[in-house]
Structure 1
């Protein structure tokens, strides 16, 4: 696996931690929820022969530091951070992959900084507000937040995994004793981010409403990726609501919400194919 190169970038109010590997056109990865750059190590390695892959730790997560205690997550601010990373690494336009809440940030990036984005693959964004009736899903988000406040992080995360069909996913369970050291470190960091996400990130990411009036222009090109194993899950309905509003078709991707980890090679091939299709389509 090619070694990633760690770096930092000073932006207003924060110092962003990011990693790069590979050579080629820039491909920016935006993590979802409590994730950080380390979650994408295998995916980045698979793509490093064709792209310069850049993954970062968003504000509130892991190794990125902020001047003040991070408060409520601001989707547009993190999107501006992503644009600053692109500018500092060649200026773009960059290919962008965002997953889950990171896909919401990617949609903000595409709307706010269209000249920085060559194409965006938005993987399973939690676009609750685009559902025909968002209230049941919003009630579920509020109930999860209340579980966190009442019973703590462990109970809330267990509820989240179960409700989203992820309770059987080994990538979300405790690490095995033979887990490689880097993977164990990533697991520990991401687990430590759960509290910030539950307290300050989950609701802003879920209630963010993409700028559909801007995104419908087709520049940059947007692919909405939905996991083949996410059929019947709430996240599928949210992705379908987004594509209906954008007037495009969904693109099936390997696996479920964590397909980039469970099938890194297949997921990388699907990403590469999607980016090439946006160039020639």
Structure 2
């Protein structure tokens, strides 16, 4: 029988937003961050890590429980990095390890550039940095078209365009079950916010490659073993090449941490043996 750890849920007021965060466990601090996915996406992985870590998760600003003062304002990776910095200072458990996935990996890279003193290790798992690949102009056009398609009310068409741009291939029945119908409530609000106010700013954020090369933070670029030839595989490899490190492989695909949390937790422990 699995023993669940107790989870403390709180809200931290930051500039322009209230960030909802969760804390589990006891031990060295590791933060798990995604965007636009919320803290719930990490719950199984967080439970596994919490047996010997203090695990920090949060809803990124504008998503689910993390409310923003100005819902029509775009959210950038630098804003999310500042939110993470405020959370890490608030928790006050020493330099943290930070695992960021997808848009959260971009946030993590921004934190390395802006607040390196708060972290000792950062794993940026599949950051979608479209500025680093040769077809960035085509990707920019595709992204703008995808966003406009979504905002016009064609959810299925927008997600189809997203999957094409990302080079992710789902079985038709799975795609239909995920994106073929309407969604309501908070899920609909979060999806709308992500397309309208997060997608463009995240995908076309430009890292400071010199700062990332020179950082004293232990920086790991993670790639899913099942992500070969997908856009985030290409962008992650481009980043690793341009800052002069070898990428580190993780189980599963783009959301391997949710697909097989047990295997993913073990791989994290291998990568961070002293955390």
TM-score, with length taken from structure 2: 0.89
Moved more, 187-196 or 234-243: 187-196
TM-score, with length taken from structure 1: 0.87
Structure 2 residues not aligned, in runs of 5+: none
Deviations 1:114-155 (A, max 9, x none): 000111000000011111342222222122112213343343
One of 212, 216, 220 as aligned partner of 1:215: 212
Deviation, 1:97, is: 0.5
The 5 Å alignment of 1:252-267 reads 252-267=249-264
* Structure 1 contact 103–124 (Cα < 8 Å) conserved: yes
Paired residue secondary structure (1:110):
helix
State the aligned residue count: 266
One of 63, 66, 73 as aligned partner of 1:71: 73
One of 140, 144, 147 as aligned partner of 1:142: 144
Deviation, 1:276, is: 2.6
What is the rounded CA distance, in whole Å, between the counterparts of 1:43 and 1:159 in structure 2?
Answer: 30
Going from structure 1 to structure 2, the CA distance change for 1:245 and 1:230 (only over 3 Å counts) comes to: same
Going from structure 1 to structure 2, the CA distance change for 1:124 and 1:99 (only over 3 Å counts) comes to: same
One of 240, 243, 250 as aligned partner of 1:243: 240
Deviations 1:36-85 (A, max 9, x none): 00111001011111211111011110001222325111221110110000
Deviation, 1:192, is: 3.4
Going from structure 1 to structure 2, the CA distance change for 1:68 and 1:149 (only over 3 Å counts) comes to: closer
Paired residue secondary structure (1:276):
coil
Structure 1 residues not aligned, in runs of 5+: 176-186
What is the rounded CA distance, in whole Å, between the counterparts of 1:238 and 1:265 in structure 2?
Answer: 26
Is 2:22 aligned against 1:23? Answer: no
Instruction: Give the root-mean-square deviation of aligned CA atoms.
Output: 2.3
Going from structure 1 to structure 2, the CA distance change for 1:225 and 1:135 (only over 3 Å counts) comes to: same
* Structure 1 contact 225–251 (Cα < 8 Å) conserved: yes
* Structure 2 contact 29–93 (Cα < 8 Å) conserved: no
Deviation, 1:104, is: 0.3
What is the rounded CA distance, in whole Å, between the counterparts of 2:187 and 2:251 in structure 1?
Answer: 23
* Structure 2 contact 27–54 (Cα < 8 Å) conserved: yes
Paired residue secondary structure (1:229):
coil
Paired residue secondary structure (2:210):
helix
Moved more, 7-16 or 142-151: 142-151
What is the rounded CA distance, in whole Å, between the counterparts of 1:154 and 1:55 in structure 2?
Answer: 30
Partner of 2:10: 7
Partner of 1:224: 221
Going from structure 1 to structure 2, the CA distance change for 1:57 and 1:117 (only over 3 Å counts) comes to: same
* Structure 1 contact 27–96 (Cα < 8 Å) conserved: yes
What is the rounded CA distance, in whole Å, between the counterparts of 1:171 and 1:260 in structure 2?
Answer: 20
Moved more, 68-77 or 56-65: 68-77
* Structure 1 contact 76–108 (Cα < 8 Å) conserved: yes
What is the rounded CA distance, in whole Å, between the counterparts of 1:86 and 1:172 in structure 2?
Answer: 39
Paired residue secondary structure (1:216):
helix
Deviation, 1:270, is: 1.2
* Structure 1 contact 22–49 (Cα < 8 Å) conserved: yes
Moved more, 140-149 or 253-262: 140-149
Deviation, 1:217, is: 1.4
